[in-house]
Amino acid sequence: MKESYNWILKQLPYSEPFLFVEEILNITNKGAEGYYTFSPDTDFYKGHFKNNPVTPGVILTECCAQIGLVCLGIYLLGQKTELENVRIGMSSSQMEFLQPVFPGERVKVVSELVYFRFQKLKCEVKMYNEDDKLVCKGVLAGMIGVANA
């Protein structure tokens, strides 16, 4: 039976139109794997680029961060318990872009934990397109914790 990670999705501090996590396939203490489909109706496609829409690199980075860093951080903090007041902040990103992502494409993000200590989480991330070609890769880091209510 496939494990449900809905408890993690409920903890994400994002909503449409800035939610870039559709499904979490697998998550462990060592990394996360999930999917997102870029809707062709998303507003940023109207101007990036004229007559040739492509998903901006900053959005690809955000998708990698939400699936590979934030979902993993919530898992590591929560271990299947309800968290309140999750606080997240990106502290660094180093990404390399290799393939374009077009409107309507579904991507898979895979992350591997580098470290998690003193509320700082660092991961290596990779994004693949539907043809299993590497779209982008890099190292993302951020601060994640639970604020006192």
> Which residues have a catalytic role annotated?
48
Structure tokens at 2: 């496939």
Backbone φ and ψ for 23, nearest 5 degrees, come out as: -155, 135
How are the residues of the chain apportioned to helix, strand and coil, as percentages rounded to the nearest 5? Answer: 20, 40, 40
Between the two ends of the chain, the Cα-to-Cα distance in Å is 36
Rounded CA gap, 135 and 120, in Å? 26
